[in-house]
């Protein structure tokens, strides 16, 4: 009992002294809780405590750190000339260099009713488009091109590519040509609106943006002179809200290269097709593609890495692209829109195809429009595209001595499950989709259906995905290349929707076709080199990357299949 009383006295003494100490702190204004924690919830205090520790260990005083060690971009600010070059690289259709050089001269008073529009007064739409609003429809203009092809009956012409929210536009418009050294425009009536679509394909409605190629003839006094820019207006004296640089790309020595490939707007935001893309680019390079032009909507970061790599090597060019008007450009939403609005998607695809044609009119002998799951594959003795055309072109001239506008290749499906039934080839890396898939449908799709072409840029006027829509010198004539000489190899998970009935037949009747294997060793070597350079391999996997096709390469044990034509 006495022992318990002692313990209670000790506890009571401790409590008294605790209150005394707290009271002393209060009298001297000392707060046991740091000021910065006051009124902060518990979880906020924890985060704040972390910030305080970070602040204490990262003092920016020169006593502890050398400011020169900070890793920031210390380049000097761009001057006006550098800014002009930078903007021109981002928006090739904007004549900013011409405007910057001549702005003071062009702003002088002149006797003409139309003045040169300041680039700051133009109406842009979704970055790459410029707008003309008329009393009967709105124009979204993408590019302007100088056309002096010998087969054109119009003579020197500027062709303007864009979309108009009208079918069969009735509004009269004018082109204001601006020539270097002239402070007044030369104004001509628009010659024609060439529709780049067939109305039977759908979307033939007012109010929906439709693709057009607009022609304005250059007046005789200026034949031989390339306009610096062109504007479209409804009335001759209007100050334009658009002004497009007239593109005229010609090799300095006038020597054309062989083959260019154009790829429509890439829409693979969620699909990492980077490895498939590397194999495809390397395959086309082996076949003889001098350059591949990719139009880019939204892609996976790994695809961007691949495209940047090949762009630095000079093998591809990437052109950013948006949809005009009120169509969505927000990532994800744009993909959903293109998936659900098929006709809108196809009409929008016409723009990059024809932009690619007109930018390269004088640079290549042939232009092909391909998806990244398609390869025009030479057969027989030909290995390169050039060897193929050296054989095909003389044969075609026996039928039409003055030549064809294009040369088309029959489509045949290499469906994924046809190969999966036969297993993998052990001497080929499993991630090399085309080399692994060597079983195809026995039958080709019907002639002129789902074909792809080599187009003669001297002779075609407008292009669609599969064939030319209009040509210079009359009705388009396309030469069907015999399947013993070449075929369009189409690697898909399934047939296109319109061929559902035929697809079962294609699956049931398949044959082995190892034509691509004549490029096997070189294609494997190039692909592995690119994958290694870009860091796609786990370090321990490179030694076995060209081996049995196991998944030790770090690229996965199977293949992911996607369809690029929808």
At residue 514, the 3 state secondary structure works out as coil
Closest C-alpha among 216, 249, 221 to residue 231: 216
d(C-alpha 85, C-alpha 97), whole Å: 7
How many distinct helices (H) and strands (E) make up the chain? Answer: 13, 24
* Positions of the chain with pLDDT under 70: 1-9, 11-65, 67-68, 107-112, 419-421, 540-566
d(C-alpha 357, C-alpha 359), whole Å: 6
CB distance 266 to 299 below 8 Å: yes
How far the first Cα of the chain sits from its last, in Å, is 93
Which of the 8 DSSP states describes residue 558? S
pLDDT of residue 191: 97
The rounded mean pLDDT for the chain is 87
CB distance 550 to 557 below 8 Å: yes
Q: Which residues contact 319 (CB under 8 A, 6 or more apart)?
A: 293, 294, 295, 296, 352, 355
Closest C-alpha among 336, 109, 118, 391 to residue 229: 118
pLDDT of residue 500: 80
Residue-range domain boundaries for the chain? 82-245, 255-532
pLDDT of residue 104: 74
d(C-alpha 178, C-alpha 530), whole Å: 46
Tell me, rounded to whole angstroms, the distance of Cα 337 from its chain centroid: 17
H or E element, residue 5:
helix 2-27
Q: Which residues contact 335 (CB under 8 A, 6 or more apart)?
A: 267, 269, 270, 298
Q: How far is CA 390 from CA 151, 258, 451, in A?
A: 23, 12, 20
**Cα angle, residue 344 at apex, residues 341 and 346 outer, rounded to 5°:** 110
CB distance 312 to 426 below 8 Å: no
Give the CATH number of domain 255-532; options: 3.30.70, 3.90.550, 1.10.260, 3.40.1350: 3.90.550
Q: Which residues contact 111 (CB under 8 A, 6 or more apart)?
A: 184
Q: Are strands 129-134 and 229-233 parallel, antiparallel or unpaired?
A: unpaired
pLDDT of residue 75: 85
H or E element, residue 531:
helix 520-533
Which of the 8 DSSP states describes residue 27? H
Full-model pTM: 0.84
Closest C-alpha among 438, 435, 437 to residue 521: 435
pLDDT of residue 40: 37
């Amino acid at each position: 009992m006495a022992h318990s009383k002692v313990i209670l006295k000790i506890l009571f003494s401790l409590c008294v002294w605790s209150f005394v100490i707290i009271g002393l702190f209060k009298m001297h204004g000392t707060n046991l809780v740091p000021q910065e924690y006051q009124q902060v919830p518990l979880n906020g205090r924890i985060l704040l405590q972390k910030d305080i520790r970070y602040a204490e260990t990262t003092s920016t005083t020169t006593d502890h750190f050398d400011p020169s060690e900070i890793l920031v971009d210390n380049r000097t600010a761009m001057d006006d000339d550098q800014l002009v070059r930078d903007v021109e690289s981002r928006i090739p259709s904007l004549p900013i260099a011409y405007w910057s050089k001549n702005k003071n001269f062009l702003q002088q008073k002149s006797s003409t009713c139309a003045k040169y529009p300041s680039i700051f007064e133009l109406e842009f739409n979704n970055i790459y488009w410029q707008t003309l609003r008329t009393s009967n429809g709105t124009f979204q203009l993408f590019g302007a091109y100088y056309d002096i092809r010998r087969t054109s009956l119009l003579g020197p012409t500027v062709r303007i590519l864009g979309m108009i929210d009208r079918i069969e536009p009735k509004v009269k418009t004018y082109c204001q040509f601006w020539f270097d050294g002239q402070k007044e425009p030369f104004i001509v009536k628009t010659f024609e609106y060439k529709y780049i679509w067939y109305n039977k394909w759908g979307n033939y409605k007012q109010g929906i943006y439709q693709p057009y190629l607009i022609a304005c003839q250059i007046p005789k006094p200026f034949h031989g002179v390339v306009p610096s820019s062109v504007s479209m207006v409804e009335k001759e004296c209007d100050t334009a809200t658009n002004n497009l640089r007239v593109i005229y790309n010609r090799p300095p020595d006038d020597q054309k290269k062989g083959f260019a490939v154009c790829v429509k707007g890439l829409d693979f935001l969620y699909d990492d097709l980077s490895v498939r893309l590397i194999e495809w680019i390397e395959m086309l390079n082996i076949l003889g593609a001098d350059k591949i032009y990719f139009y880019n909507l939204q892609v996976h970061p790994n695809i961007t890495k691949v495209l940047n790599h090949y762009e630095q090597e000079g093998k591809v060019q990437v052109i950013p692209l948006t949809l005009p008007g009120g169509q969505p450009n927000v990532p994800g939403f744009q993909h959903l829109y293109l998936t659900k609005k098929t006709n809108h998607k196809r009409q929008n695809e016409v723009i990059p195809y024809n932009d690619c044609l007109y930018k390269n009119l004088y640079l290549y002998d042939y232009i092909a429009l391909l998806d990244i799951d398609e390869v025009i594959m030479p057969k027989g003795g030909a290995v390169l595209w050039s060897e193929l055309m050296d054989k095909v072109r003389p044969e075609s001239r026996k039928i039409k001595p003055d030549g064809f506008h294009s040369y088309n290749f029959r489509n045949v499906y290499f469906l994924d499950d046809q190969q999966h039934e036969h297993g993998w080839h052990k001497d080929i890396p499993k991630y090399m989709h085309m080399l692994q898939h060597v079983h195809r449908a026995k039958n080709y799709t019907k002639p002129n259906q789902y074909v792809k072409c080599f187009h003669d840029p001297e002779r075609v006027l407008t292009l669609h995905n599969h064939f030319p829509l209009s040509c210079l010198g009359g009705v388009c004539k396309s030469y069907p290349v015999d399947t013993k000489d070449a075929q369009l190899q189409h690697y898909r998970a399934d047939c296109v929707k319109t061929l559902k009935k035929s697809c079962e037949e294609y699956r049931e009747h398949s044959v082995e076709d190892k034509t691509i294997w004549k490029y096997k060793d070189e294609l494997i070597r190039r692909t592995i080199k690119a994958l290694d350079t870009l860091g796609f391999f786990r370090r321990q996997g490179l030694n076995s990357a060209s081996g049995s096709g196991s998944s030790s390469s770090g690229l996965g044990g199977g293949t992911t299949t996607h369809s690029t034509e929808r």
